[in-house]
C-alpha cells in the first residue's frame, strides 16, 4: 500500500479535503487511518509524539528550515526517525485489515518533517493543501514568530529591530515565514523527485471551480471515483 500524506496547516481547509474523500470513497478503496473525530488528525501519529510543538521547535532549531539532509549521528534526527518508526508499527494492524490501494492520514505538521517521513515511507505521495487568500495566520507559524528560538543571532537581532521600528506587521512576518516553509517543502519534494499535488483550497469554496479541482486531486490519487457522487458533492459539503 502507498501512503498519501496531506500537508496543510491543520485548519478547516485541510479538514474539508479529508471530508471530500470520506464522502467519495469507502475504506475498501482508500483507507483513512484511525483519526480523531473533530480534527481528523492521525491518532497513531499523536501517540508517537511527532505532532508536539516542542518536537518541531527542536527540528527547526537544529536545521533552520525544512529542506535538509538527515544526519544519522544527530540526536534530534535519531529521535524523529524513532518516533516515525514507532508510528509505522502502530498502523501495521490497521493496514493488515484492508485491501485498499492507498492509505492516507492528516497531520498538520508533516511539512516540517518531510525528510523523516521520506526516509520511513520512501514510496509516499504528497498532497499539499494550500490557500492563496489568508484572512489571518493562526497556526504553528505564528507561534514560531513569537519565540523564533531556532534563528541565528543575526536573524534574532534583525527581527528585534524590525519589531521595534514596525518595519513589518506581525501578520506579514507570519506570512513571510509561512511562505519560507512552503518554498522549502517544494524544494525538498522536487530535489528527491517525490510525487506531489498542490490543491488550492480557495477553489473548493467556489462552485464553478469545485468539481474541476476535486477531479484533479482524484487523478493524482489514481483511484476510481463515482461521477454521480462527485456531481452532488458541493451541495452536501460546502
Instruction: Name the residue ranges covered by the structural domains of the chain.
Output: 2-135+182-237
pLDDT tens string, the chain, 238 residues long: the values are: 789 999 877 677 788 888 888 888 877 788 999 998 888 889 999 888 888 888 888 898 899 889 999 999 999 999 999 999 999 998 988 899 888 889 998 887 888 999 999 999 999 999 998 877 665 566 666 666 655 555 666 666 666 666 666 666 777 777 778 888 889 999 999 999 999 999 998 898 888 899 899 999 999 988 887 777 787 888 877 6
Distances (CA, A) of 150 to 9, 58, 102: 20, 8, 36
Residue with cell 480523531: 36
- pLDDT (tens digit per residue) in 126-173: 999 887 766 556 666 666 665 555 566 666 666 666 666 666 677 777
205's CB contacts (< 8 A; 6+ apart) are 238
Distances (CA, A) of 12 to 2, 109, 118, 140, 177: 25, 15, 26, 15, 20
Question: How is domain 2-135+182-237 classified at the architecture level of CATH?
Answer: 3-Layer(aba) Sandwich (3.40)
Its pTM stands at 0.86
Amino acid at each position: 500500500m502507498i501512503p498519501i500524506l496531506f500537508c496543510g496547516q491543520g485548519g478547516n481547509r485541510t479538514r474539508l479535503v479529508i471530508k471530500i474523500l470520506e464522502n467519495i470513497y469507502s475504506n475498501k478503496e482508500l483507507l483513512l487511518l484511525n483519526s480523531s473525530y473533530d480534527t481528523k488528525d492521525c491518532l497513531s501519529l499523536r501517540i508517537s509524539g511527532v505532532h508536539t510543538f516542542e518536537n518541531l521547535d527542536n527540528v527547526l532549531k537544529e536545521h533552520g528550515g525544512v529542506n535538509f539532509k538527515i544526519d544519522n549521528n544527530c540526536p534530534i534526527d535519531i529521535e524523529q526517525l524513532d518516533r516515525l518508526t514507532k508510528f509505522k508499527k502502530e498502523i501495521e494492524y490497521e493496514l493488515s485489515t484492508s485491501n485498499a490501494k492507498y492509505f492516507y492520514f492528516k497531520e498538520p505538521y508533516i511539512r516540517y518533517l518531510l525528510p523523516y517521513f521520506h526516509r520511513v515511507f520512501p514510496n509516499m505521495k504528497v498532497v499539499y493543501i494550500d490557500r492563496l487568500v489568508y484572512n489571518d495566520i493562526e497556526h504553528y507559524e505564528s507561534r514560531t514568530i513569537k519565540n523564533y528560538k531556532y534563528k541565528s543571532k543575526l536573524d534574532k537581532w534583525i527581527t528585534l529591530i524590525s519589531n521595534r521600528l514596525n518595519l513589518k506587521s506581525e501578520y506579514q512576518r507570519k506570512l513571510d515565514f509561512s511562505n519560507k516553509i512552503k518554498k522549502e517543502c517544494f524544494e525538498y519534494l522536487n530535489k528527491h523527485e517525490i510525487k506531489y499535488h498542490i490543491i488550492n483550497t480557495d477553489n473548493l469554496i467556489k462552485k464553478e471551480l469545485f468539481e474541476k479541482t476535486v477531479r484533479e486531486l482524484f487523478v493524482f490519487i489514481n483511484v476510481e471515483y463515482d461521477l454521480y457522487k462527485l456531481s452532488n458533492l458541493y451541495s452536501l459539503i460546502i
